[in-house]
Chains A and B, each alone.
Chain A
Amino acid sequence: MGAIARLGRRLLYLLNRRRMDAELREEMAAHREAMEDPARFGNDLRLRETARALWGWSWLDALIGDLRLSARGLRRDLRFTVTAVGVLAIGLGVAALALALRRTYAPEALPYPDAARLHHVSYAPPGPWEPSHIARIDWPTLDDVVEHAITAAPARLYVPDEGGRPPLPVRALRVSEGFVRGLGLRAAAGRTFDAADLAPGGEPVAMIGHSHWMGRFGGDPSIVGRSLSLSDESGERTEFVRVIGVLPRRFFFGRDSRDSVDVLLPLHQAAQTYLVRLWPGVAPTIAAQRITQATRGVTTDLPADWTGVRLEAMPDRQFAALRPMLRMIAIAAAGALTIVCLNLAVLVLLRSLRRRKDIAVRAVLGASRLRLIRLGAADAVLLAAAGGVGALSLAHVLLRTAGPALAIQLGRPSPRGLDGVGVDGTVAATIGALALLVAVVLAVIPRIAAARDLSAELRGSGRGASAGPVMRRARGALVALEIGGSLALLVGCGLTVRSAMNLAERPRGFSPHAVLTARLAFPGTAYPTPEALLGLYDVWRDRTEEATSIRPAFANWPPFAEPPLHEVTGDDGTAIAAGAVAISDGYVATMGMALQRGRDFTSMDRVGGAPVALVSASLARTLWRDTDPIGRTLRAAAPSPRGTPDVRQYTVVGVVDDVRRSFDDADLREYYTSWLQHPPDRFATLYVRTAGHPATWARTLDGLTATLDPRIRVGLARAVRDDDQEARETRFLVTLFGGLALFAVLIAVMGLMGVTAYAVQQREREIAIRMALGAEARLIVRHILRGAAWLIVAGLAVGLLAALAVGRVLASRVYGLSASDPVTIVAACGLLGTAALAAAWLPARQAATEQNFSRLRDAD
């Protein structure tokens, strides 16, 4: 108790130090004045010092003094300071960036507590079917493994017209009690569903999403308790619900954070469950076995080769695809930070060499070794602190401005939303710790080397001789290591960039540039027969073509995803698996695919006509070797769960170029059926080739469609190219690693330039004498370069070993070249070696051409 109070009084004193000191001085002066014999008072200053020391803050004064002195020294050495802080800020900044990305794509970033226990349930491999009746699984019987069955059924609902505006689509989700409890649902305002809300027959209630609340109701808290009306797609059924709460800001449910929820409603019927929360300690394999058994119990149409249910932990599903990329960024950041540290060590070493005399004088004047070490530590702390702050600001600015673009390039917005990538407390703390570590290294390295030379220094002072052999070896080794590190980083970056470009440069078989896509939804009830619906599609397309002179094409599968596989059989009976896609007439031209022979589909290839197909060149080659495939019969069997596949026969009318849906798409065998020959759906995905902006084009289309039938909805138009996840990753990789490679070269050049400049400066006298004796500048330069060349060669040798190790790490990610690709390595060595030689040549040249006689005179 007493100790705490004492500490409190000391802290109070610290905060009011200036006033307290003034008061003390004042009362002492008053005392003196009042005394008859002021001499008996004692030494004013000494007494005040003693009094001040009693409060126990003198160490702080000493520290501030050290820092102030060191700051003054650093300010005088501005070039060094700016370079060191800049380099450190970039190095730590890259580390902060890597850390921030890692934190952003981590389970903790998901809007659900303890997300590692959430598992996705897949009942069958992705494809056209899944076991029937899985909605009937009795989850309570599995409650020894599954804590909550998280059931959610999406619903397309609309907010009905408000004063003539078209109905507003909302993303609605009907959810079970397991959803509310299993996801630990909270309310940002109002409350979440309780048991009564979820029980059938109660008052219809809803929660609304945060962005919906902000966007439609301006964040008005009085929304809680109000009634909303929601209609279905046809606008014929409307339900009224009372809002009881608002979902948290970053809540989402689905693939990623773009799947926000506008309206959450209680689920009153059985629905399929695709997400479960397991009890703590339950192995997913065990749970999968139990769910498999339960599925067998309710399903009647399982194929003989059904492999059972698979579980995938939520964090894996969300982030597994990103992990290799994040790991590469982390490795690159660690590499960059290492060479930054080496570079800083060289810079600090050179500076301490330049300041040898200064330090030696201080030592002679009685500064203890401890004090000298403290001064060095103060330098290191100031540099590291400035570097750390610089790094965090750099990372912050970078993530604030480029964060959303970065998330899009990574192909996955952060679970915290597009603006959720940022520097948080953990990142700041880690960078702080790293900066501290750097400070310790910076404080220690030059001391170890300098301690040996210190006493010898004064004796040799003024002679201008180079530093002791220990120092020379130390800085030589550091620079060589730095060059080696840079080479390793450069080779790593080079391999990554070249591999990415190799992948990106392969011909795709189609060109997605300037192609827009949008989703089209036709009202179902107004066009009940397939013929009526097909007629509507025809009219819609004709109208669009008349107005914009672009004829939209349709396809049932997006260009950057592998289509479902069907078993196809040629005339001779060989059966193979091939991708099946339905495309309309005009799609081949819209996508920029090339028709090799035969014809494209026409609008006459429709329901009721003879079934026709296009085949990819690879499929044609496999099925019919060198013979002409046109006019041949293709039998295709779509898999069905009941074991009796749906077999159809088509006449081949054309052959198109192979389409590479991903960079390393190996299976290029595909066949295309006519979209108009499939019974039409109310939903369709359209494609148009136009240079226009998606938004402009969508507006045109909206207006056009409204005149035809206002109930037809055109979804958000977007560029097809944006769906190309791999191209985005490639651009990102090339930018990031290209930048890092540049940084690596820059660092190596800086290190060597500094060391050579110092060596030249040390040998000023020698050079001047040689010049005076008639040596040619060329010879002097060559002489200096020879010394640098040894460092470069040693560095490159070390780097070569490191580069081979880096190549081995990258081996699985490198495409189209060997992990120890000689071209990359030789190019990197050449680039780095040339840059390093230039870095040594510049100061050497300068030394040899300057007027040296004056220096000879002034050298002492």
Chain B
Amino acid sequence: MLVLRVLATESLHGYAIAQRIAQRSGDALRVEEGSLYPALQGMLIEGWVRAATATSDTGRTVRRYSLTAAGRRKLESERQRFRATVRAIDLVLANG
């Protein structure tokens, strides 16, 4: 979901996606950065993102990922589901 959200505003390559997530979360959500790639492959299969070849700042060929229409729909439904979950947890916590 985070990856989808980041790609919703602009198309980015792998390193930039990781950077953007780190920035937005204020370095709170730091994971093994490599695991981004299997996740991206999965999204390619599902058709949520598409990839185009580009050149990185360091001169290497990289793939630039962008969101597809299906990806946008997926992001929207994920966001709603997440909000609903959070609301429910909130409710539980508030009553406790």
The reply to whether B34 and A28 contact each other, CB–CB distance below 8 Å, is yes
Stretch of B3-11, B43-51, B82-90 lying at the A interface? B43-51
Cα–Cα, bound, A28→B33 (Å) = 10
The reply to whether B58 and A51 contact each other, CB–CB distance below 8 Å, is no
List residues of chain B with CB within 8 A of the CB of A15. none
Is A41 close to B, CB under 8 A?
yes
Cα–Cα, bound, A55→B63 (Å) = 18
List residues of chain A with CB within 8 A of the CB of B60. 26-27, 29-30, 33
List residues of chain B with CB within 8 A of the CB of A34. 15, 56-58
Is B62 close to A, CB under 8 A?
yes
Q: What are 21 A-B interface contacts by the 8 Å CB criterion? A: A2-B47, A9-B44, A9-B45, A23-B61, A24-B37, A26-B61, A27-B13, A30-B58, A31-B15, A31-B62, A33-B60, A34-B56, A40-B32, A41-B32, A42-B32, A42-B35, A47-B37, A48-B37, A51-B38, A54-B38, A54-B45
List residues of chain B with CB within 8 A of the CB of A26. 60-62
Cα–Cα, bound, A33→B36 (Å) = 16
The reply to whether A41 and B34 contact each other, CB–CB distance below 8 Å, is yes
Is A549 close to B, CB under 8 A?
no
Cα–Cα, bound, A337→B59 (Å) = 64
List residues of chain B with CB within 8 A of the CB of A24. 37, 41
The reply to whether A27 and B14 contact each other, CB–CB distance below 8 Å, is yes
List residues of chain A with CB within 8 A of the CB of B37. 24, 27-28, 31, 47-48, 51
Cα–Cα, bound, A48→B45 (Å) = 15
- Given A10-B45, A54-B42, A55-B41, A30 and B62 contact (CB-CB distance below 8 Å): yes
Is B95 close to A, CB under 8 A?
no
Is A50 close to B, CB under 8 A?
yes
Chain B: interface size category:
20 to 34
B80–chain A nearest beta-carbon distance, Å: 20
Cα–Cα, bound, A165→B8 (Å) = 86
The reply to whether A42 and B14 contact each other, CB–CB distance below 8 Å, is no
List residues of chain A with CB within 8 A of the CB of B33. 31, 35, 40-42
List residues of chain A with CB within 8 A of the CB of B57. 34
Residue of A nearest to B40 (CB): A51
Cα–Cα, bound, A23→B62 (Å) = 7
Q: Which one of B32, B45, B63 lies within 8 Å of A27 (CB-CB)? A: B63
Q: Mark A271-282, 1 if CB is under 8 A from B, else 0.
A: 000000000000
Having A27-B37, A28-B14, A31-B18, one finds 7 other A-B pairs with CB under 8 Å, namely A35-B33, A40-B30, A40-B32, A41-B33, A50-B38, A51-B41, A54-B38
Residue of A nearest to B51 (CB): A23
Q: Mark A109-143, 1 if CB is under 8 A from B, else 0.
A: 00000000000000000000000000000000000
List residues of chain B with CB within 8 A of the CB of A23. 53, 61, 63
The reply to whether A5 and B47 contact each other, CB–CB distance below 8 Å, is yes
B33–chain A nearest beta-carbon distance, Å: 5
Q: Mark A664-693, 1 if CB is under 8 A from B, else 0.
A: 000000000000000000000000000000
Question: Interface centre among B34, B35, B44, by most A CB within 10 Å?
Answer: B34
A29–chain B nearest beta-carbon distance, Å: 7
Cα–Cα, bound, A10→B14 (Å) = 21
List residues of chain A with CB within 8 A of the CB of B14. 27-28, 30-31
List residues of chain B with CB within 8 A of the CB of A6. 45-47
Question: Interface centre among A27, A28, A44, A48, by most B CB within 10 Å?
Answer: A27
Cα–Cα, bound, A42→B38 (Å) = 12
The reply to whether A27 and B62 contact each other, CB–CB distance below 8 Å, is yes
Residue of B nearest to A6 (CB): B45
Cα–Cα, bound, A47→B35 (Å) = 7
Residue of A nearest to B36 (CB): A31
List residues of chain A with CB within 8 A of the CB of B30. 40
B31–chain A nearest beta-carbon distance, Å: 9
List residues of chain B with CB within 8 A of the CB of A13. 45
Cα–Cα, bound, A50→B40 (Å) = 11
Cα–Cα, bound, A295→B58 (Å) = 98
Is A812 close to B, CB under 8 A?
no
Cα–Cα, bound, A26→B55 (Å) = 11
List residues of chain B with CB within 8 A of the CB of A9. 44-45, 47
Is A627 close to B, CB under 8 A?
no
Is A644 close to B, CB under 8 A?
no
Cα–Cα, bound, A10→B46 (Å) = 10
Is A222 close to B, CB under 8 A?
no
Cα–Cα, bound, A343→B62 (Å) = 57
- Given A6-B45, A30-B14, A47 and B38 contact (CB-CB distance below 8 Å): yes
A388–chain B nearest beta-carbon distance, Å: 36
B63–chain A nearest beta-carbon distance, Å: 5
4 closest A-B pairs by CB:
A42-B34, A42-B32, A30-B60, A51-B38
Is A43 close to B, CB under 8 A?
yes
Cα–Cα, bound, A470→B28 (Å) = 67
